[in-house]
Every structure is written in structure tokens, then in C-alpha cells.
Amino acid sequence: MAILPMLRLSLVGHKDEEEDVLALLQDLGVLEVEKINLEADSSIEWLPAKISDINRELSRLKLNITFLRDYIKTNSSIIDLFVPQKLPFSEEERRRIVREFEENGGYSTIESWQSSLEEIKNSVNSLSQDKELLTPFEDLNFPIRDLKAFKYVDVFFGQIRKRDLEEFIEEIRNHLADISIVKETPQYTFFIVIAHKESSGEIRGVFSKYNVNIFNLEKFSGTPKEELSAIDNRINNLLRMKDRVLEEIGQKGEGLLNALYILYDNYQNDLIRYEHLSRATHTENMFLITGWIREKDSPVIKDTLERRFKDLYIVMSPPGPDDNPPVALENNSFVHPFEVVTGIYGYPNSREFDPTPFLAPFFAVFFALCLTDAAYGIILAILSAYLYRNLIIERQRKKLLQLLFICGLFTIGVGAITGGWFGNVSEAFRFLAFLEPLRKRLILFDPLKDPITFLALSLALGFIQIIFGLFIKMILNIKRQHYREAIFDQLFWILFLLAIVITAGTLALESLRYLNKPTMYFTLIMAVALVATQGRHQKSIFLKITSGLGSLYSVISYLSDVLSYSRLLALGLATGVIATVVNELVKTFSGIPVLGAIIGIVIFVGGHLFNLIINAFGAFVHSSRLQFVEFFGKFFEGGGREFNPLRKIRTYTIEKEVIE
């Protein structure tokens, strides 16, 4: 349960083997490659072009994936919207699927589908526009081709706003043209104007004046009804063609989509590998790769590389004083999920403690106190366990589910001793009254009836965690041989704060009154010790004393930190109150025959589900906040970066071997 020791790994070999070395390291997933710049570096001229080619291929794959996903029905669930699952394939299946894709011309098949559907779409759109042009004139019973045969007359098909119609007709007739109304709608009127060719220019001027929309029907020859019928037939034929293409996509598309997923992940990992290649240093014939590995992986790395590459020079060394190695955490099965919380705040540096084991029990208890409902804990634990077993995602991404499962178990325990089972469900509903004696037998205190006890418990836990944080800092200073800081800045404060609390206890409890004077004297001694030591960095005696006296004001800061834990009371009460209100609402509707039962069930399920989701989120946020601000502030330095080795990263697929 600690930060793993790291080693610097340096590899020197012939340039011809560099890509193979990196490919093997990527398969192992154990080396974080560092960027190094040396004057002797000779860049790989072909690398930028190679990276550019891969990016182009990834873009092409992404477009094809997007196309197929739009037309292929997948058995996705609501969960997939939040946590997209990955398709499991073995290495043998990957190779087979990619080989079949290439042999059967997968790209050309997909792109021909795209081309066909695009052509059909454009043709249907064009025909629909033609239909829109002709529809207002569908009642005309003469062929449009006949209108083109007039030698001295022009025929215009148009549309005008209804409010301008009377003035427009008058002006048209003033130019010795004839107008016929073909169709009217609430806003527009469709018409035909027949005018002598010599008057066409003036007629067009009238059209412009009234913003008339003129339709060009020259490409049509039959009657409007004949043309509309032909258009409908062509559209239907195109739609049948589209259905055939979609049917073919439905039959073959899923297999091709799987191949695209695999190819995308393959190219993505090629890109990662070639980008890491640019971090290495090169001479004309040699390469140098350097980075960080976990010390525990060193035997496997050395053995694997030496067996595969006989001429590879391997050097492993511990970090130097100026090095800043990445941080890799390793914890037992209980603590491991809580690395999620540590990761949100930031990783510790390589020279301090991993805070995860210290925060884990506090976080779980605080989370449970925020929910205080055993039934909610059962639901949370069951749901987390189900998702953990059924979601096809990497093991690392399942840590949050493990964390919620543990917190659910703690919530069951805390809920039982505080009497929360869907709020007061056994008390609220008579048919569950037989459970009430069992519920009461488990209760230690009821937060709604005894909030002072809940508040005292919350503040006590907060005080314990703050003292524990100071203790961790003291141990860290002792480990670094900073003995004065450990004694003066941590031990003295721990003793002083404990003395204040014990003294307050002797004043509050009659049975401890006899300890009052000794504890007061001890508190005074510790206060003097703090005054004498907290200003030790100052030069003059006066500044040492004033600085020491000023340091006692930090008691207010510690008190403020302890009071922050009262949020546990607020959230715990909120969960219980909302649950009780939901039950009361259900009771309100229970008297309505038949319909009341249905409404009651909907309110009960919806209300408690809402309460669980909102307050579980609040429990996570506020429990995290107490760790980050009140607890970490006492000892955590941070500034570390997570160990991020060169490894295979997959967007759409996952190795069958890594699924749990």
C-alpha cells in the first residue's frame, strides 16, 4: 500500500530495430518514454509523413464508422449513453476480421454504399423540388411542351402574395396580357400569364415590382399530372433502391463495422507508437530511448528485451536527486478503488506517502453518513456490482463502480444503526409494521429525532481525521529527518488540540471534573510550548514571541475545519427528510381506489430513486471535499504525475483476456 519505487530505463540499439523495440514495449505497457534532446540527434525524416498518413487513415475510418453507425441498429442501452461499452475480440479474431475486410474490399463496399445513398438522396431532393414546382399547376390539362411552340407569345407560370393580387392583375392587363388564376392558398395565388413577346420585357418589370416568383417549367413536356406521376414513380424507384442498399448494409454492415473498429484501434496505436518514436534520440545508425519503469517490472522487462534483441544495450538506475519520476500507486483490494478520489485531486509526489490508504475508511464512512439509509445502500451495492460484472470496459475504468459498491456496503451498516430504510417505510405503511421491531432493535440513534448526537459524531470524526492528518505529516517529517518540524509543528499541535478537547470534556461532564485542573495546566503548558517554538524562524526575540503568540490564532482555523464536518449532518438529515416526505406523499394517494395504488407506486419508486441519485452524488462530492480541503491540507504536498506508460489504448474494442 504505497507509491511504487521507480527505475530509469535507458535502451541503446541499432536504428533498424527501433520500431520493433517500441512495438514490444507497447505490448508490455511498462515504460513511460521521456522526451530527450541531444545535440547529436539526427531526426527521422520519414516520421512526419508517416504520422500524417496515419492521421488521414484515422479520419477516413472515422467517417466510415460514423456512416455505418447511422444505419446499423445496435442493441444499446441507456448505460451506453454514459459509458460506451467496447467490443471484446481476441488477437486471433482481430487478425481474421481485418484479413477478411481487406480481401473482400471492405472500403470499396462501404464507400459504394455511401455514394449510392448520396446519389439517391440528391436525386430525391431534386425530384421533390420539381414536384413542388408542378403541384400548384396540376389541374392544367394541356402538355407543357405545347407552350414552347408559340412563335409570338410567351407563357409565364408564377406565384404572388394574395394582398398584391388585384393591383397586379390590373397592371398585367394594362400591358395587353392575359392572366389566369390556377390555384389559391391562404397567402399566395398561383397564375399563368400569356403575353406578346414584344411586351415580355414590360411584363417582367411588373413581376419584379410585385416580387413575383416565376417558375421555370421548360424542362417538362407532358401535362403537369403526367409529369407529377412520372416524378412519383421515379421517387418510388429511388426509394426502393435505397431500401435495397439499406438491406445490404443490414446484412453486411455489422461485420464491416467491427472491422473498422479494429482497424481504427490498430491505427490509433500505431500513431501512439510513432509519436513516441519522436521522443527518442537518434544518430545516423543508433537510437536512445529513456524513460521510467516500476522497479517490480524490471526483471520481466530485462528478460523479455534480452531474449528478443541480442544487441540491445539495457541500463537501469534509481532516480537521481534532480529527477522527477512519475508516480505509480499500488494498494490492496479495499483501498485500490479509492485511488479514484486521490486522482481527482492530484497525485502525490514521489517523496511522500500515498494518501489513498489514509482517506479510504474516512471517505466510506462519510459517504454512508451522508446517505444514512440502508435500503439505498443495498440498491447502490447491487447496482454497482451488476454494472461491474456486465460492463465491457477496461478494469481501470471500473474502479469507480468498486468504490460505489464499498460505499454501498458502508451505507447499509450506517443506515441500519440510524434506522433508515427508505426513510421511515416500516413506520409509514401499516402492512410493513411487522418490520418495525427489527428496525428499532438495530437503531443506535435516529438522526431526525436526535440530531445533536449526529452532529457530535460528525464533529468527532472530523476532529479525529484532522489529528490523523497532523500525525501523518509528523511521520513524514521524521522519515525525512526533519525532527524539529515533526515535534514543534505537528506533535505540539496534536497535544495542544487534544488537551483543549479533553479540558472541554472535563468541564462538560461532572464525572470528569477531578481532571479539570491537570488538563488545564497541560493545555497551558502546550500553549507556552507553541509560543516558544512557532516563531523560531524569526531573528529577534520580540518577533519570535509575537509570531509564536500569533500562531495560537490557528486554533480558530482548526475549529473551522472541524465545523466543516457538520455538512455530514446536513446531508444525512436531507436524505432522511426527503425519503420521509416521499412516503407521506404515497400515503396521501393510497386512499384513492385502484388509481391511488398506481400513482403511489410511481411516486415511491421515482421519489426514492431521485433521492438516492441526488444524495449519492452529494455524498461523493462533499466526502471528497472533506478529504481535499480539511484532510489533505494537513499533510499532502502533491505535485506528482501519474505513471503513464506507452501501451495500447483502444477506443472501440477491448482484449477478451482483460475482461473481468
Rounded to the nearest integer, the mean pLDDT of the chain is 88
Mean pLDDT score, 328-351: 92
Residue type, 77: S
E-state strands within 28-149: 32-33, 87-89
E-state strands within 129-235: 153-161, 178-184, 188-196, 213-215
Query: Above pLDDT 90, what percent of the chain?
Result: 54
pLDDT score at 660: 46
| Helix (H), strand (E) at residue 125 | helix 106-134
Quickly list H helices, 346-398: 356-371, 374-390
Residues 6+ apart with CB under 8 A from 55: 271
Mean pLDDT score, 135-159: 84
Domain ranges of the chain: 1-44+278-327, 142-222, 336-634
Go through 32-60 and write b for each residue having 16 or more CB atoms within 10 A of its CB, e for each that does not: bbbeeeeeeeeebeeeeeebeebeebbeb
Sign of CA dihedral 647, 648, 654, 656: negative
Query: Judging by beta carbons within 10 Å of its beta carbon (0-12, 13-18, 19+), is residue 465 exposed, middle or buried?
Result: buried
Gap between the Cα atoms of 351 and 476, Å rounded: 9
Gap between the Cα atoms of 530 and 456, Å rounded: 28
| Helix (H), strand (E) at residue 96 | helix 91-103
Same fold, 1-44+278-327 and 142-222: yes
Q: For 309-327, what is each residue's pLDDT tens digit? A: 988 999 999 998 888 899 9
Q: For 608-656, what is each residue's pLDDT tens digit? A: 999 999 999 999 999 999 999 999 999 999 889 999 999 999 999 888 7
pLDDT score at 41: 57
Asked if 4 and 32 touch (Cβ cutoff 8 Å), the reply is no
Beta bridge partners of 293: 7
Between 66-75, 250-259, 295-304, 479-488, the lowest mean confidence (pLDDT) is in 66-75
Q: Which of 311, 316, 264 is nearest to 287 (CA)?
A: 311
Gap between the Cα atoms of 56 and 475, Å rounded: 54
Go through 616-654 and write b for each residue having 16 or more CB atoms within 10 A of its CB, e for each that does not: bebbbebbbebbbebbbebbbeeebeebebbeeebebbb
Which residue has 472533506 as its cell numbers?
626
75: pLDDT confidence band, cut at 50, 70 and 90?
Answer: low
Phi, psi of 101 (to 5 degrees): -60, -45
Report helix, strand or coil for 572.
helix
pLDDT score at 590: 76
43: pLDDT confidence band, cut at 50, 70 and 90?
Answer: low
Query: Above pLDDT 70, what percent of the chain?
Result: 94
| Residue-wise DSSP of 284-329 | SSEEEEEEEEEGGGHHHHHHHHHHH-TT-EEEEEPPPTT----B-E
366: pLDDT confidence band, cut at 50, 70 and 90?
Answer: very high
pLDDT exceeds cutoff 60 at 559: yes
Phi, psi of 354 (to 5 degrees): -75, 120
Q: Which of 168, 162, 236, 237 is nearest to 203 (CA)?
A: 168
Query: Judging by beta carbons within 10 Å of its beta carbon (0-12, 13-18, 19+), is residue 332 exposed, middle or buried?
Result: exposed
Which CATH number is associated with domain 142-222? 3.30.70.2750
Gap between the Cα atoms of 490 and 534, Å rounded: 11
Q: For 275-313, what is each residue's pLDDT tens digit? A: 998 888 888 888 999 999 999 999 999 999 999 998 899
Which CATH number is associated with domain 1-44+278-327? 3.30.70.120
Q: Which of 369, 376, 331, 372 is nearest to 353 (CA)?
A: 331
Asked if 590 and 598 touch (Cβ cutoff 8 Å), the reply is no
Sign of CA dihedral 30, 35, 41, 45: positive
First to last CA, the chain: 23
Mean pLDDT score, 157-175: 90
